[in-house]
Amino acid sequence: MTTPKKLVLIGNGMAGVRTLEHLLKLAPGAYEITIFGAEPHPNYNRIMLSSVLVGGADLNEIVINDWNWYKENNITLHTGHTVTKIDTARKRVITNLGLEADYDSVIIATGSNPFMLPIPGADKTGVIAFRDIKDCETMIETSKSYKKAAVIGGGLLGLEAARGLLHLGMEVTVIHKHDYLMERQLDEAASRMLQRELEGQGMKFLLNKHSASITGRRRVNALQFTDGSELAADLVVMAVGIRPNIALAKASGVDINLGIVVDDYMRTNIPDIFAVGECVEHQGIAYGLVAPLYEQGAVLAKLLAGVETAGYAGSVTSTKLKVSGVDVFSAGYFREKPGTRALRIQDDLAGTYKKIVIQDGKLVGAVLFGDTTDGAELFATIKKGESVAGKEKELLLGISSDLLGQSGGGNRLESMPDDEIVCGCNGVSKATIAEAIQAKGCVTVGQIKSCTKASASCGGCKPVVEGLLTLYAGDAVGEPVKEGICGCTTLSRDEIVEEIKRMKLMTVKEVMHVLDWDNKDGCSKCRPSLNYYLGMLYPEEYIDENESRFTNERYHANIQKDGTYSVVPRIYGGVTSPADLKKIAEVAEKYDVPMVKFTGGQRLDLLGVKKEDLPKIWEDLDMPSGHAYGKTLRTVKTCVGSTFCRFGTQDAISMGIKLEKAFERLNTPAKVKLAVSGCPRNCAEATIKDFGVVAIDGGWELYVAGNGGVKVRACDLLGTVKTEDEVMEWASAYLQYYRENAQWNERTANWLERVGLDSIKKALEKQEDRLALVARIEKTLSLTTDPWKEIVENDHLRKNFEPIPSAQAQTV
């Protein structure tokens, strides 16, 4: 048997991992693969970051390959590692953390870096780029405390950032140095239409403006321009372009220019070193769109697999985008110049615009705004380079505008090249979709989405996918498949729970087998949800499946970007003692904890803990876990209430501690936060929590379904009670009703908006119903123990936390 060669991928992004996906299909087992990624995340879709900002997707939904994919393909993944050197003599890569890995072949896929304007003040707090998950998180956090945002750059990235910040409730001004927005993708007419649309959404614009400096002490407070004017700003997002990340290649002796110079087979000047993606320069061009990068990856995968390939010849690019809900498309050379003719049609009432550019009888460019249906056909026509003489008006007017109509005697989708990218978000070509339909039997859009990921992200390509489905499946096209909790099943949450109860199913595997899961092993979405539903239904009988939990929950700590962990002991109601503070300080010193931080939930967070130290730290702390990592009760925030405050009307501290001690360790569909304020001044921010209690004269107001996260939501008033016992009764009943009826990973805010406040009030209005819910939650709570007690006391469980030998490296 041939020994697998060692392949190292530097960069865990879209282009590099797509190359490996091809390689694994072409030559399974041929390589022992190691990946180094600087971020603490699995491979995710960077294009969808703007959807995270506007609340259209969460971080889990933009993951392309989850942690299990690496395991299933025997790939060793090192997150939080930046490769700093390629030792070409010893054929070894070395990371910033001192990890080394040998290679037979190495792929550099380091992507690009955001360009930051070199102006005074650019290093101040509150000045960021928009490039990765961390930038998204910074914007979300900033929006909670500040209101004025400035986005420098009126290109696609800047407008996406601006739309996200608008959604987060900030006042947003976009600064652009050109006469009109998105000048690389749109002509002036389409750009002006886009600007009007965005202004209607609340965005402001300063065009023909050049930034001069950023002012403020430590944090930005204003942006100054070269004309002497200024703009007040609490956050400045620079979205002025990207630069290929070539530092590693340059330091390793690889030829670089604008990017890493490669030939048609993605080879660099050094043997066995290849490069793909935004870091690459091919024939003088560095591409920043996903389709060319995936084309490069396909060529390299074939080369590494020993499959004959024609090589990469460069790409004719098109851009099909959804900017703040508006569809735009451009392709080729869409600006008029001597020797070209332009035809255009503009409908301001309908908000549509279409322009085509003809040169020497051929279509060379197009711009679409508002309706991009004809984009695929126009792009295919540009790429073919055939004469369109006499058909110009047909192309402009879209005489056969539906996707399956006839144009020039041939089906429009039939004439689309096989390598045409249909789904730009996920890089899915026409040929891949055709194969899914013809060879794999996919006869619905849902099945194609599950099989190929086409239309799984922004959904803009769905009409083309539907057209290809009709083209290749004909009469065999099936009815749209009802989508279930994930792609493994068509069953909804309620259907699954009902079947578990009806048939008394008792394990995750049993549920997936009996209910006929398409993917027999499940996925990262359904396994944790089934684990929760079974535990909720059968608290006494069900044995929790640790392997069906997320990484943080398995290790009972939050993994950080550098691979270390965060430990948060429970501090009830934010009230601690000198003895506990001393204990935490001693543990932090003993284990060289790099940082101890106060959290927003009135606790102390020990950051930078090594995985192998986790059991020993908990043993020395001898304190309950704060469950800062789980889908459970996180914190109960309190103010000092009547104990010390002259405005307090009730004992908020005592009430908060009683709630926290009652519900600690309670598993819930999503994380739950509580708060108790001692008077209507609401210093504990109880009206943006999942369950909030506010003291009033002679009683307590109970608030539910608040959220202070990405989508801020103020609570609804559930009711008013007089005693602490009534607070406990209603809190218990409400939380158990949520546990039994919400979908997995559904926060209380989303749950209430889905089912309605009135339905919840009706379910809790009778005391007999509330007491039944209270009995069930108390039964569940009586069966829970702090997970660290079991781990500390069992040697076989402690072995899970032992460091992985360096030869095997740190896998997911």
Question: pLDDT per residue over 53-111, tens digit each?
Answer: 766 566 777 888 888 899 999 999 999 999 999 999 999 999 999 999 999 999 999 99
- Give the separation between CA 483 and CA 151, rounded to whole angstroms: 38
- Crossing angle (nearest 10°) for helices 757-764 and 748-755: 90
* CA 79 distance to own-chain centroid: 16
Intrachain domains 127-240 and 626-785 with the same fold:
no
Contacts of residue 615, Cβ cutoff 8 Å, sequence gap at least 6: 788, 791, 792, 798, 801
Average pLDDT over residues 751-780: 93
Helix, strand, coil percentages, rounded to 5, for the chain: 35, 25, 40
Average pLDDT over residues 670-691: 93
- Comparing CA positions, the residue from 294, 340, 408, 324 lying closest to residue 332 is 340
CA angle centred on 602, ends 599 and 606, rounded to 5°: 45
Torsion of CA 127, 132, 137, 138, to 10 degrees: -10
Predicted local distance difference test score (pLDDT) of residue 482:
62
SS3 91: coil
Question: Which amino acid, 211?
Answer: S
Residue 400 in this model has a pLDDT that exceeds 60: no
Average pLDDT over residues 422-450: 82
* CA 266 distance to own-chain centroid: 29
More confident residue, 493 or 561: 493
- Give the separation between CA 753 and CA 707, rounded to whole angstroms: 12
Question: 626-785 belongs to which homologous superfamily?
Answer: Sulfite Reductase Hemoprotein, domain 1 (3.30.413.10)
* Residue range 205-258, pLDDT digits in tens: 999 999 999 999 999 999 999 999 999 999 999 999 889 999 999 999 999 999
- Give the separation between CA 139 and CA 149, rounded to whole angstroms: 10
What values do phi and psi take at 588, rounded to 5? -60, -40
CA atoms within 13 A on the CB side of 726: 14
Predicted local distance difference test score (pLDDT) of residue 805:
41
CB neighbour burial string for 27-58, b if at least 16 within 10 angstroms, e if fewer? beebbbbbbbbbbebbbbbbbbbbbbbbebbe
Contacts of residue 72, Cβ cutoff 8 Å, sequence gap at least 6: none
Contact 763, 751 (CB under 8 A): no
- Give the separation between CA 273 and CA 303, rounded to whole angstroms: 13
- Comparing CA positions, the residue from 615, 596, 604 lying closest to residue 569 is 604
CA–CA distance from 523 to each of 12, 487, 519 (Å)? 20, 8, 8
- Give the separation between CA 217 and CA 228, rounded to whole angstroms: 20
Predicted local distance difference test score (pLDDT) of residue 132:
86
CATH number of 127-240: 3.50.50.60
258-265, long-range: CB < 8 A, 24+ apart = 258/284, 258/286, 259/286, 260/108, 263/311, 264/299, 264/311, 264/312, 264/313, 265/299, 265/300, 265/303, 265/309, 265/311, 265/312
- Give the separation between CA 657 and CA 573, rounded to whole angstroms: 5
Contact 807, 575 (CB under 8 A): no
Predicted local distance difference test score (pLDDT) of residue 795:
62
Contacts of residue 768, Cβ cutoff 8 Å, sequence gap at least 6: none
- Give the separation between CA 453 and CA 559, rounded to whole angstroms: 28
CA angle centred on 46, ends 43 and 49, rounded to 5°: 120
Q: Hey, where are the domains in the chain?
A: 5-112+244-305, 127-240, 493-549, 626-785
SS3 343: strand
More confident residue, 532 or 51: 532
- Comparing CA positions, the residue from 772, 634, 627, 767 lying closest to residue 691 is 634
Of 359-373, 420-434, 615-629, 795-809, the one with minimum mean pLDDT is 795-809
- Look up residue 569 and give its DSSP letter: B
Average pLDDT over residues 461-483: 76
CA atoms within 13 A on the CB side of 445: 15
Q: How confident is the model at residue 384 (pLDDT cuts 50, 70, 90)?
A: confident
Predicted local distance difference test score (pLDDT) of residue 643:
87
pTM check: above 0.85? no
CB atoms within 10 A of CB 311: 11
- Comparing CA positions, the residue from 664, 482, 504, 462 lying closest to residue 573 is 664
* Residue range 569-612, pLDDT digits in tens: 888 888 888 999 999 999 999 999 888 888 888 888 888 888 88
Average pLDDT over residues 138-146: 90
Average pLDDT over residues 361-374: 87
Residue 491 in tokens: 């069953």
Q: How confident is the model at residue 27 (pLDDT cuts 50, 70, 90)?
A: very high
Predicted local distance difference test score (pLDDT) of residue 347:
85
Predicted local distance difference test score (pLDDT) of residue 330:
86
Architecture of the structural domain at 5-112+244-305: 3-Layer(bba) Sandwich (3.50)
* Residue range 539-558, pLDDT digits in tens: 988 888 877 776 677 777 77
Predicted local distance difference test score (pLDDT) of residue 279:
96
Sole residue written with tokens 């101040």 = 124
- Size of the chain, expressed as the number of residues it contains: 812
* Residue range 257-286, pLDDT digits in tens: 999 999 999 999 999 999 999 999 999 989
Predicted local distance difference test score (pLDDT) of residue 238:
95
Beta bridge mates, 331: 318, 366
Beta bridge mates, 387: 362
The pLDDT mean for the chain works out to 86
Residue 482 in tokens: 């009802």
What values do phi and psi take at 726, rounded to 5? -70, -35
Predicted local distance difference test score (pLDDT) of residue 410:
38
Residue 402 in this model has a pLDDT that exceeds 90: no
Residue 17 in tokens: 């991992």
